[in-house]
Amino acid sequence: MQRSNSHVTRAKFEPNLADRLDDARILWRIVGLALRYHVLISLALLATLAATAFQLAIPPLVGDAVDGALGLLGDHEVAPGTARSALYHAALLLFGASVLRGLFTVIHNYCGESIGHRLAHDLRLAFYGRLQELSFSFHDRIHTGELITRGMLDLEGVRMFVNTGLLRVVLMTILIGAGAWLLLSTDLVLGLLSLSFAPYVAWRSATTRLRLRRLWHLFQERMAVLGRIMDENLTGIRVVRAFGAETHELRKYDSAAEDAIRLSSRRIRIRVASTTEMTFAYFVSMGLVLWVGGDRVIAGEMTVGTLTEFLTFITILQLPVRQLGLVVNSFARASSCGARLFAVLDLEPGITDAPGARPLAAGEGTVRFENVSFSYDGDGTDVLDGVSFEVRRGRTLGIVGPPGSGKSTIAYLMARYYDISGGRIVIDGQDIRDVTLDSLRRAVRVVHQDPFLFTASLDNNIAYGDPWTDEDAIREAAGAAQIDGFIERLADGYETLVGERGVSLSGGQRQRVAIARAALLRPAVLVLDDSTAAIDAETESRIHEALARDSGGTAKIVISHRLAAIRDADEIIALEAGRIIERGNHDTLIAAGGHYARLFALQGRAGSKDGRAGAREAGG
């Protein structure tokens, strides 16, 4: 890996027309977004014009002041008071022009920063909103740390472009363009000498931007790697500590950080070298102006004030030349960061409402899988193959099978987290692809084996699906999930704050909170995907009894490795390799003496020998 990374950092980056076109589209897109803030962008441009005008007024004022001072000093008939008054007048004009230039520069910078932050706010909301819309298949392929990097570091690169790139280029263009016209109209030769550094600076800026753009892209990728490593480490910190892998994790992070700092150092070297070369070209131009202009002054062909005007203008250009490296860096970073950010924003969700989709109409509550087939990412390997079943409101379907048989996939398809490859899924005669996602997911609630809890109070976690529900409903749902007694024994009761991902609770307690969260909403279809695996048998039995009593109008699907959780189901199907190999109720399947009967016997023997721990092992 290190050899590959060093090869990347040593690579020679050649200009590419396609890259230029892509960069142009990305930068124009950012400019278009900034132009939406009409008032601020207008103020910024007007302030830029005003600041440039007063900046350009300074060289002629200095030149006139020098000529005036020399004239007054050479004219011995002028009274000292008159000479002093003329110098004061010139000084006041210079002071006023400088103050006004500074004032409009402040307005220019303020508007630029304001536009940048507003743009970042809008992009942040758009990025976060797009992540909420993208399907599970997208999140299966990209790491959380990568998305966090794009939503923070890449977004920051786009934000800074408005002030450090766009508006500064406008300022420099007007300053150099108007100044060039003034100088060339005053003296063609000295004007050309004053601007002789511009062609070299333009060429150097273009080549540097191409190199920096590539380096910025690689740097952002390295930062994404750092984000992934840190995210995994913090999420799995208990595993790291349990296996004493702290040193390994530190080495892994240090290696990724070294890759990032090497790229950062290379980027800084390129930018500093470019700025140094451009500054050298600038001083060469100043030396030429001083040499040629000095000869003309000595020959009496030019006044000292005119030469001073040219030198003052070149001095004013010194700051833009020094800042040009930052501007080039801003362009390179914005094109790289914008490409990564817009790549996510431009994605179309894989699961969307069909044209003309209508809300799911409530009916008798019948769920049917009709010859359903499915493969992840369309790779041709069927996870489900021709699966058909039916479950009505008030009845329970049990699903059992070995790992990888497709049990959890049924739960995902029920709520349309993925779209099926063949067949159809209907609820009350309505194909779930023809109803709105919002109405479908209000009707179908899935509780997973490893539920996610937010860093919030217990009552907020239970009421997550309906934040405006009353306290009695929350307590009733907690009672159905058999978690109410535990909560009431806590010092803060339902207001107890759970840690990140519910870390302060045991696995069984987290599962019961998740069951309460789903039960509160009284869905038409409730899918329990091995969601009682960490709960003891007695509590599990009480939960199923409470759910059957409190949600009699719900079609319930229970997926479990443990047969005790589904033996009372109205129908049980056994899956293997995505196909249904057996179906019937508990007694029928036991009498058939097939796969289900053998698994039941195995779990029974393990249970009598080792208790519930053995039963879990046999079932898994």
pLDDT per residue as tens digits for the range 497-514: 887 777 778 888 888 888
* Dist. CA 429–CA 437, nearest whole Å: 16
Q: What does the pLDDT read at residue 86? A: 66
Residue 4 has pLDDT above 70, yes or no: no
- pLDDT of 258 reads 86
Task: Please report, rounded to a whole number, the percentage of residues in the chain having pLDDT higher than 90.
Answer: 11
- Mean per-residue pLDDT, 404-411: 88
The pLDDT of residue 80 is: 57
Work out the burial of residue 202: count CB atoms within 10 Å of its CB; fewer than 13 is exposed, 13-18 middle, 19 or more buried: exposed
Tens of pLDDT, residues 217-263: 788 778 878 888 887 787 777 777 777 788 888 888 888 888 888 88
Is the per-residue pLDDT at 425 higher than 90? yes
Three-state DSSP class for residue 414: helix
23-345 and 367-449+523-619 agree in CATH topology: no
Nearest alpha-carbon partner for 261 in 215, 325, 208, 330: 215
CA dihedral 233, 238, 239, 245 (to 10 degrees): 70
Q: Mind listing the pLDDT tens digit for each residue in 536-577?
A: 778 888 888 888 776 667 888 999 888 888 888 899 999 988
Helix (H, G, I), strand (E, B) or coil at 556: strand
Alpha-carbon dihedral of residues 30, 32, 34, 36, nearest 10 degrees? -150
Q: How confident is the model over 289-314, as pLDDT tens digits?
A: 888 888 887 877 777 777 787 777 77
Task: Provide the residue ranges of all domains of the chain, joining segments of one domain with +.
Answer: 23-345, 367-449+523-619
Determine the topology of domain 367-449+523-619 in CATH: Rossmann fold (3.40.50)
Rounded distance between C-alpha atoms, residue 493 and residue 486, angstroms: 9
Task: For residues 514 and 80, give the distance between their C-alpha atoms in angstroms, rounded to a whole number.
Answer: 92
Amino acid letter, residue 77: E
d(CA 115, CA 38): 10
Residue 608 confidence (pLDDT) above 60? no
Helix, coil or strand: residue 428? coil
pLDDT at 21: 43
| pLDDT at residue 378, rounded to an integer | 57
Share of the chain above pLDDT 70, in %: 88
> Above 90 in pLDDT, residue 216?
no
Kindly indicate the confidence band of residue 13, based on its pLDDT and cuts at 50, 70 and 90.
very low
| Strands (DSSP E) found in 514-568 | 525-529, 555-559
Q: Is the pLDDT of residue 619 over 60?
A: no
Q: Please give the structure tokens belonging to residue 232.
A: 């995994």
Long-range pairs, 109-112, Cβ under 8 A, ≥24: 109/163, 111/40, 111/41, 111/43, 111/44, 111/47, 111/167, 112/44, 112/162, 112/163, 112/166, 112/167
Q: Which fold has domain 23-345?
A: ABC transporter transmembrane region fold (1.20.1560)
